[in-house]
Amino acid sequence: MAHPVSPLALPLPEMPPVPGVQVATGMAEIRYRAREDVMVMAFPAGTTVAGVFTKNRCPGAPVEWSRAALKGGKARGLVVTSGNSNVFTGKAGRETCEKTAAAAAGLLGCKPREVFLASTGVIGERLPTEKLVGALPGVFGAVEEAGFGPAARAIMTTDTFPKGAVRTATIGETTVTIAGIAKGSGMIAPDMATMLSFLATDAKIPAAALQALLKKGCDRSFNCVTVDSDTSTSDTVLLFATGAAKHPRVPAEGGAILKDFARALNEVLMDLALMVARDGEGAQKLIRIDVTGATTARSAHRIGMSIANSPLVKTAIAGEDANWGRIVMAVGKSGEPADRDLLSIAVGGVWMAKDGGVVDGYDETPVVAHMKGREVEITVDIGLGKGKATVWTCDLTHGYIDINGSYRS
Protein backbone atom coordinates (compact mmCIF):
# COMPACT_ATOMS: atom_id res chain seq x y z
CA MET A 1 0.00 0.00 0.00
CA ALA A 2 1.51 3.32 -1.10
CA HIS A 3 1.26 6.23 1.29
CA PRO A 4 0.95 9.89 0.25
CA VAL A 5 4.27 11.69 0.03
CA SER A 6 5.11 13.55 3.24
CA PRO A 7 4.30 17.27 3.05
CA LEU A 8 7.77 17.79 4.57
CA ALA A 9 9.52 15.92 1.72
CA LEU A 10 12.64 17.34 0.11
CA PRO A 11 13.66 16.60 -3.50
CA LEU A 12 16.50 14.17 -4.11
CA PRO A 13 19.58 16.26 -4.98
CA GLU A 14 21.68 15.68 -8.08
CA MET A 15 23.79 12.64 -7.09
CA PRO A 16 27.03 12.40 -9.09
CA PRO A 17 28.92 9.08 -9.17
CA VAL A 18 31.56 8.55 -6.47
CA PRO A 19 34.82 7.46 -8.18
CA GLY A 20 35.50 3.80 -7.38
CA VAL A 21 31.89 2.95 -6.45
CA GLN A 22 29.88 0.83 -8.85
CA VAL A 23 26.18 0.51 -8.10
CA ALA A 24 23.13 -1.34 -9.44
CA THR A 25 19.56 -2.17 -8.42
CA GLY A 26 17.33 -5.10 -9.24
CA MET A 27 14.19 -7.09 -8.46
CA ALA A 28 14.20 -10.23 -6.34
CA GLU A 29 10.49 -9.93 -5.38
CA ILE A 30 11.31 -10.67 -1.74
CA ARG A 31 8.12 -8.94 -0.62
CA TYR A 32 7.27 -6.32 -3.20
CA ARG A 33 6.11 -7.14 -6.71
CA ALA A 34 7.14 -5.09 -9.73
CA ARG A 35 9.53 -2.80 -7.89
CA GLU A 36 13.23 -2.87 -7.24
CA ASP A 37 14.06 -4.33 -3.83
CA VAL A 38 17.77 -5.16 -4.11
CA MET A 39 20.64 -2.67 -4.20
CA VAL A 40 24.30 -3.63 -4.56
CA MET A 41 27.58 -1.75 -4.58
CA ALA A 42 31.01 -2.98 -5.70
CA PHE A 43 34.25 -1.41 -4.50
CA PRO A 44 37.87 -1.69 -5.66
CA ALA A 45 40.50 -3.58 -3.65
CA GLY A 46 41.83 -1.45 -0.80
CA THR A 47 38.46 0.15 0.04
CA THR A 48 38.17 0.81 3.78
CA VAL A 49 34.90 0.76 5.73
CA ALA A 50 33.38 2.13 8.93
CA GLY A 51 30.05 1.22 10.50
CA VAL A 52 27.63 2.08 13.29
CA PHE A 53 24.83 -0.30 14.24
CA THR A 54 21.68 -0.59 16.35
CA LYS A 55 21.97 -1.04 20.11
CA ASN A 56 18.78 -3.12 20.09
CA ARG A 57 19.48 -6.40 21.94
CA CYS A 58 17.58 -8.43 19.33
CA PRO A 59 19.49 -7.42 16.18
CA GLY A 60 18.91 -8.92 12.78
CA ALA A 61 21.29 -11.45 11.24
CA PRO A 62 22.59 -8.89 8.69
CA VAL A 63 23.60 -6.55 11.55
CA GLU A 64 25.54 -9.35 13.23
CA TRP A 65 27.16 -10.29 9.91
CA SER A 66 28.24 -6.73 9.08
CA ARG A 67 29.40 -6.02 12.64
CA ALA A 68 31.72 -9.04 12.43
CA ALA A 69 32.88 -8.16 8.90
CA LEU A 70 33.74 -4.63 10.05
CA LYS A 71 36.59 -6.01 12.18
CA GLY A 72 38.52 -6.60 8.94
CA GLY A 73 38.24 -2.91 7.99
CA LYS A 74 38.07 -3.74 4.26
CA ALA A 75 35.13 -3.89 1.85
CA ARG A 76 34.57 -5.08 -1.72
CA GLY A 77 30.78 -5.36 -1.83
CA LEU A 78 27.42 -4.40 -0.31
CA VAL A 79 24.05 -6.15 -0.68
CA VAL A 80 20.90 -4.42 0.63
CA THR A 81 17.36 -5.79 0.49
CA SER A 82 14.01 -4.22 1.43
CA GLY A 83 10.70 -5.79 2.41
CA ASN A 84 12.04 -8.42 4.83
CA SER A 85 14.43 -7.53 7.66
CA ASN A 86 15.77 -11.08 8.23
CA VAL A 87 15.33 -10.50 11.97
CA PHE A 88 14.27 -13.11 14.55
CA THR A 89 14.87 -15.82 11.98
CA GLY A 90 17.47 -17.78 13.98
CA LYS A 91 19.70 -20.24 12.17
CA ALA A 92 17.87 -19.67 8.88
CA GLY A 93 18.71 -15.97 9.05
CA ARG A 94 22.39 -16.67 9.62
CA GLU A 95 22.43 -19.15 6.74
CA THR A 96 20.83 -16.56 4.44
CA CYS A 97 23.62 -14.13 5.30
CA GLU A 98 26.33 -16.75 4.70
CA LYS A 99 24.86 -17.78 1.34
CA THR A 100 24.29 -14.18 0.22
CA ALA A 101 27.82 -13.10 1.15
CA ALA A 102 29.34 -16.19 -0.46
CA ALA A 103 27.40 -15.64 -3.70
CA ALA A 104 28.38 -11.96 -3.85
CA ALA A 105 32.01 -12.77 -3.00
CA GLY A 106 32.09 -15.31 -5.85
CA LEU A 107 30.86 -12.66 -8.28
CA LEU A 108 33.31 -10.04 -6.99
CA GLY A 109 36.34 -12.31 -6.55
CA CYS A 110 36.79 -11.50 -2.86
CA LYS A 111 36.30 -13.06 0.58
CA PRO A 112 32.76 -13.34 1.99
CA ARG A 113 33.83 -11.20 4.98
CA GLU A 114 34.54 -8.33 2.58
CA VAL A 115 30.84 -8.25 1.66
CA PHE A 116 28.49 -6.20 3.84
CA LEU A 117 24.79 -6.96 4.22
CA ALA A 118 21.74 -4.98 5.33
CA SER A 119 18.02 -5.73 5.22
CA THR A 120 14.92 -3.89 6.33
CA GLY A 121 11.22 -4.71 6.45
CA VAL A 122 8.97 -7.19 8.25
CA ILE A 123 10.44 -8.97 11.32
CA GLY A 124 10.13 -12.71 11.92
CA GLU A 125 9.65 -13.97 8.38
CA ARG A 126 12.30 -16.11 6.69
CA LEU A 127 13.99 -14.24 3.85
CA PRO A 128 13.63 -16.25 0.61
CA THR A 129 17.33 -16.94 0.14
CA GLU A 130 16.98 -18.65 -3.24
CA LYS A 131 15.21 -15.62 -4.75
CA LEU A 132 17.87 -13.24 -3.46
CA VAL A 133 20.89 -15.35 -4.41
CA GLY A 134 19.29 -16.04 -7.79
CA ALA A 135 18.96 -12.33 -8.48
CA LEU A 136 22.56 -11.42 -7.57
CA PRO A 137 24.38 -12.43 -10.80
CA GLY A 138 22.09 -10.17 -12.83
CA VAL A 139 22.35 -7.24 -10.44
CA PHE A 140 26.12 -7.45 -9.98
CA GLY A 141 26.42 -7.94 -13.75
CA ALA A 142 24.81 -4.51 -14.22
CA VAL A 143 27.00 -2.49 -11.82
CA GLU A 144 28.41 0.78 -13.14
CA GLU A 145 29.81 4.05 -11.83
CA ALA A 146 26.53 5.90 -11.54
CA GLY A 147 24.65 8.26 -9.25
CA PHE A 148 22.93 6.91 -6.15
CA GLY A 149 19.39 8.03 -7.08
CA PRO A 150 17.97 4.61 -8.09
CA ALA A 151 19.76 3.03 -5.09
CA ALA A 152 17.97 5.44 -2.73
CA ARG A 153 14.61 4.29 -4.14
CA ALA A 154 15.39 0.56 -4.04
CA ILE A 155 16.01 0.54 -0.25
CA MET A 156 12.69 2.22 0.70
CA THR A 157 9.95 0.46 2.72
CA THR A 158 7.30 2.77 4.22
CA ASP A 159 9.35 5.80 3.13
CA THR A 160 7.37 8.22 0.98
CA PHE A 161 10.38 9.83 -0.70
CA PRO A 162 13.99 8.78 -1.47
CA LYS A 163 16.70 10.37 0.66
CA GLY A 164 20.13 11.43 -0.52
CA ALA A 165 22.80 14.02 0.18
CA VAL A 166 26.17 14.95 -1.26
CA ARG A 167 29.06 17.28 -0.36
CA THR A 168 32.62 17.90 -1.47
CA ALA A 169 35.64 18.48 0.76
CA THR A 170 39.35 19.07 0.36
CA ILE A 171 42.17 16.89 1.66
CA GLY A 172 45.37 18.80 0.99
CA GLU A 173 44.71 20.43 -2.40
CA THR A 174 42.51 17.57 -3.64
CA THR A 175 38.70 17.73 -3.82
CA VAL A 176 36.89 14.57 -2.71
CA THR A 177 33.20 13.68 -2.80
CA ILE A 178 31.00 12.25 -0.04
CA ALA A 179 27.59 10.95 -1.09
CA GLY A 180 25.03 9.15 1.04
CA ILE A 181 21.54 7.66 0.90
CA ALA A 182 19.20 6.62 3.71
CA LYS A 183 15.87 4.98 4.31
CA GLY A 184 13.76 5.36 7.40
CA SER A 185 10.27 6.42 8.32
CA GLY A 186 9.05 4.61 11.44
CA MET A 187 10.59 2.60 14.30
CA ILE A 188 12.99 5.52 14.48
CA ALA A 189 14.95 6.23 17.63
CA PRO A 190 18.53 6.03 18.68
CA ASP A 191 20.66 4.42 18.38
CA MET A 192 19.79 5.25 14.86
CA ALA A 193 16.60 3.94 13.41
CA THR A 194 14.85 1.30 11.30
CA MET A 195 17.14 3.05 9.27
CA LEU A 196 19.70 2.09 6.77
CA SER A 197 22.23 4.58 5.48
CA PHE A 198 25.09 4.03 3.07
CA LEU A 199 27.77 6.59 2.35
CA ALA A 200 30.77 6.50 0.06
CA THR A 201 33.75 8.70 -0.67
CA ASP A 202 36.66 8.57 -3.08
CA ALA A 203 39.04 9.65 -0.28
CA LYS A 204 41.73 7.25 0.95
CA ILE A 205 41.26 7.05 4.72
CA PRO A 206 42.43 4.32 7.13
CA ALA A 207 39.54 2.33 8.65
CA ALA A 208 40.27 3.47 12.24
CA ALA A 209 40.18 7.17 11.33
CA LEU A 210 37.04 6.61 9.23
CA GLN A 211 35.33 4.82 12.14
CA ALA A 212 36.07 7.64 14.60
CA LEU A 213 34.62 10.26 12.23
CA LEU A 214 31.49 8.21 11.49
CA LYS A 215 30.74 7.49 15.15
CA LYS A 216 31.11 11.14 16.11
CA GLY A 217 29.01 12.24 13.15
CA CYS A 218 26.20 9.77 13.91
CA ASP A 219 26.06 10.90 17.55
CA ARG A 220 25.35 14.45 16.34
CA SER A 221 22.87 13.51 13.63
CA PHE A 222 21.05 10.17 13.52
CA ASN A 223 21.24 9.79 17.31
CA CYS A 224 19.54 13.18 17.73
CA VAL A 225 16.46 12.16 15.72
CA THR A 226 13.39 10.25 16.88
CA VAL A 227 10.02 9.53 15.27
CA ASP A 228 8.45 7.20 17.82
CA SER A 229 11.03 6.15 20.47
CA ASP A 230 11.29 2.61 19.03
CA THR A 231 14.84 1.43 18.34
CA SER A 232 14.86 -0.88 15.33
CA THR A 233 16.55 -4.25 15.11
CA SER A 234 18.17 -3.42 11.78
CA ASP A 235 19.86 -0.02 12.04
CA THR A 236 23.01 0.15 9.99
CA VAL A 237 25.13 3.06 8.79
CA LEU A 238 28.12 2.14 6.62
CA LEU A 239 30.74 4.47 5.15
CA PHE A 240 33.05 3.23 2.37
CA ALA A 241 36.25 4.98 1.27
CA THR A 242 37.48 3.79 -2.14
CA GLY A 243 40.78 5.66 -2.23
CA ALA A 244 40.27 6.59 -5.91
CA ALA A 245 41.27 10.21 -5.24
CA LYS A 246 44.96 11.13 -5.07
CA HIS A 247 45.66 13.29 -2.03
CA PRO A 248 48.29 13.53 0.74
CA ARG A 249 48.52 10.45 2.94
CA VAL A 250 46.12 10.36 5.89
CA PRO A 251 47.71 8.99 9.10
CA ALA A 252 46.02 6.05 10.87
CA GLU A 253 44.57 8.33 13.54
CA GLY A 254 43.30 10.89 11.01
CA GLY A 255 43.85 14.30 12.61
CA ALA A 256 43.90 17.86 11.25
CA ILE A 257 44.21 16.80 7.60
CA LEU A 258 40.62 15.49 7.79
CA LYS A 259 39.08 18.66 9.25
CA ASP A 260 37.25 19.67 6.08
CA PHE A 261 36.32 16.05 5.34
CA ALA A 262 34.75 15.77 8.81
CA ARG A 263 32.71 18.93 8.15
CA ALA A 264 31.38 17.56 4.85
CA LEU A 265 30.63 14.14 6.34
CA ASN A 266 28.73 15.71 9.24
CA GLU A 267 26.67 17.79 6.81
CA VAL A 268 25.72 14.72 4.75
CA LEU A 269 24.77 12.79 7.90
CA MET A 270 22.68 15.70 9.21
CA ASP A 271 20.89 16.14 5.87
CA LEU A 272 19.98 12.44 5.84
CA ALA A 273 18.92 12.38 9.51
CA LEU A 274 16.58 15.33 9.06
CA MET A 275 15.07 13.74 5.93
CA VAL A 276 14.23 10.70 8.06
CA ALA A 277 12.45 12.95 10.58
CA ARG A 278 10.64 14.71 7.73
CA ASP A 279 9.38 11.32 6.51
CA GLY A 280 8.17 10.15 9.93
CA GLU A 281 5.13 7.97 9.38
CA GLY A 282 2.13 10.30 9.12
CA ALA A 283 4.28 13.35 9.89
CA GLN A 284 2.86 16.78 9.13
CA LYS A 285 5.38 18.88 11.09
CA LEU A 286 9.13 18.80 11.71
CA ILE A 287 9.96 19.72 15.32
CA ARG A 288 13.29 21.10 16.55
CA ILE A 289 13.94 21.02 20.29
CA ASP A 290 16.80 23.08 21.76
CA VAL A 291 17.67 22.35 25.38
CA THR A 292 20.01 24.74 27.21
CA GLY A 293 21.07 25.22 30.82
CA ALA A 294 21.28 21.51 31.69
CA THR A 295 23.94 20.15 34.07
CA THR A 296 25.76 18.40 31.18
CA ALA A 297 25.42 17.98 27.39
CA ARG A 298 24.38 14.35 27.92
CA SER A 299 21.68 15.43 30.36
CA ALA A 300 20.44 18.04 27.86
CA HIS A 301 20.26 15.35 25.17
CA ARG A 302 18.23 13.04 27.41
CA ILE A 303 15.81 15.84 28.32
CA GLY A 304 15.45 16.73 24.63
CA MET A 305 14.69 13.11 23.71
CA SER A 306 12.16 12.84 26.56
CA ILE A 307 10.27 15.80 25.05
CA ALA A 308 10.70 14.52 21.49
CA ASN A 309 9.40 11.06 22.39
CA SER A 310 6.38 12.22 24.41
CA PRO A 311 3.15 11.17 22.64
CA LEU A 312 1.36 13.98 24.51
CA VAL A 313 3.78 16.66 23.28
CA LYS A 314 3.70 15.27 19.73
CA THR A 315 -0.10 15.05 19.56
CA ALA A 316 -0.44 18.59 20.97
CA ILE A 317 1.77 19.82 18.12
CA ALA A 318 -0.22 17.78 15.59
CA GLY A 319 -3.35 19.53 16.94
CA GLU A 320 -1.60 22.92 16.97
CA ASP A 321 -2.35 23.22 20.69
CA ALA A 322 0.12 25.48 22.57
CA ASN A 323 -0.03 23.26 25.67
CA TRP A 324 3.35 24.00 27.28
CA GLY A 325 2.39 22.02 30.40
CA ARG A 326 3.11 18.85 28.42
CA ILE A 327 6.67 20.04 27.83
CA VAL A 328 7.08 20.61 31.59
CA MET A 329 5.86 17.04 32.17
CA ALA A 330 8.33 15.61 29.65
CA VAL A 331 11.24 17.47 31.24
CA GLY A 332 10.25 16.17 34.66
CA LYS A 333 9.91 12.53 33.59
CA SER A 334 13.34 12.41 31.92
CA GLY A 335 15.02 11.46 35.20
CA GLU A 336 17.60 14.22 34.64
CA PRO A 337 18.37 17.08 37.05
CA ALA A 338 15.73 19.82 36.69
CA ASP A 339 14.16 22.41 38.97
CA ARG A 340 10.58 23.44 38.35
CA ASP A 341 11.24 26.95 39.68
CA LEU A 342 14.14 27.59 37.27
CA LEU A 343 12.54 26.15 34.11
CA SER A 344 11.81 28.35 31.08
CA ILE A 345 9.96 27.31 27.89
CA ALA A 346 9.58 29.01 24.50
CA VAL A 347 7.81 27.99 21.29
CA GLY A 348 8.69 29.77 18.06
CA GLY A 349 10.95 32.14 19.96
CA VAL A 350 8.16 33.34 22.29
CA TRP A 351 8.80 32.67 25.98
CA MET A 352 5.64 31.26 27.55
CA ALA A 353 6.97 30.21 30.93
CA LYS A 354 9.95 31.52 32.90
CA ASP A 355 11.32 30.62 36.33
CA GLY A 356 8.62 28.09 37.01
CA GLY A 357 5.57 30.15 36.03
CA VAL A 358 3.73 31.65 33.09
CA VAL A 359 5.23 34.88 31.74
CA ASP A 360 3.35 38.05 32.76
CA GLY A 361 1.11 39.25 29.94
CA TYR A 362 1.78 36.08 27.90
CA ASP A 363 -0.14 36.20 24.60
CA GLU A 364 -0.70 32.84 22.91
CA THR A 365 -1.49 34.34 19.49
CA PRO A 366 2.03 34.31 17.93
CA VAL A 367 2.68 30.83 19.37
CA VAL A 368 -0.48 29.42 17.78
CA ALA A 369 0.48 31.07 14.48
CA HIS A 370 3.95 29.44 14.67
CA MET A 371 2.42 26.03 15.39
CA LYS A 372 0.31 26.21 12.24
CA GLY A 373 3.51 26.08 10.17
CA ARG A 374 5.31 22.97 8.92
CA GLU A 375 8.34 23.50 11.19
CA VAL A 376 7.96 24.01 14.93
CA GLU A 377 10.73 25.15 17.29
CA ILE A 378 10.73 24.48 21.03
CA THR A 379 13.35 25.92 23.39
CA VAL A 380 13.74 24.74 26.98
CA ASP A 381 16.17 26.32 29.44
CA ILE A 382 16.76 24.18 32.52
CA GLY A 383 18.59 26.95 34.40
CA LEU A 384 21.10 24.69 36.13
CA GLY A 385 24.31 24.68 34.06
CA LYS A 386 25.87 25.01 30.62
CA GLY A 387 24.82 21.71 29.03
CA LYS A 388 23.00 22.02 25.72
CA ALA A 389 21.67 19.77 22.96
CA THR A 390 19.43 19.89 19.90
CA VAL A 391 17.17 17.02 18.82
CA TRP A 392 14.58 16.65 16.09
CA THR A 393 11.30 14.79 15.85
CA CYS A 394 7.94 15.02 14.09
CA ASP A 395 4.34 15.24 15.24
CA LEU A 396 2.17 12.18 15.94
CA THR A 397 -0.91 11.95 13.74
CA HIS A 398 -3.65 9.49 12.78
CA GLY A 399 -1.46 8.63 9.79
CA TYR A 400 1.06 6.89 12.07
CA ILE A 401 -1.67 4.55 13.33
CA ASP A 402 -3.05 3.94 9.83
CA ILE A 403 0.40 2.96 8.48
CA ASN A 404 1.45 0.78 11.40
CA GLY A 405 -1.92 -0.84 11.99
CA SER A 406 -1.83 -2.32 8.49
CA TYR A 407 1.93 -2.76 7.92
CA ARG A 408 1.87 -6.52 7.22
CA SER A 409 -1.46 -6.66 5.37
Catalytic residue IDs = 194
Q: Please check if 194 is assigned to a binding site.
A: yes
CA distances from 333 to 164, 227, 294, 336 (A): 36, 19, 15, 8
The annotation status of 157 as a binding-site residue, yes or no, is yes
The residues pairing with 48 across neighbouring beta strands, listed in sequence order, are 74, 241
- The separation between CA 334 and the C-alpha centre of its own chain, rounded to angstroms, equals 24
Give the C-alpha distances (Å, rounded to integers) separating 202 from 47, 118, 132, 178, 218.
Answer: 9, 22, 29, 7, 20
Residue 111 annotated as lining a ligand binding site: no
Residue 313 half-sphere exposure, CB side, CA atoms within 13 Å? Answer: 29
- Is 183 assigned to a binding site? yes
- Ramachandran region of residue 245, left (φ > 0), alpha (ψ -120 to 50) or beta? beta
> Per the annotation, does 404 bind a ligand?
yes
∠ CA(302), CA(305), CA(308), 5° rounding? Answer: 155
Task: Report the binding-site residues for substrate.
Answer: 157, 183, 194, 281, 404, 409
Which residues are annotated binding-site positions?
157, 183, 194, 281, 404, 409
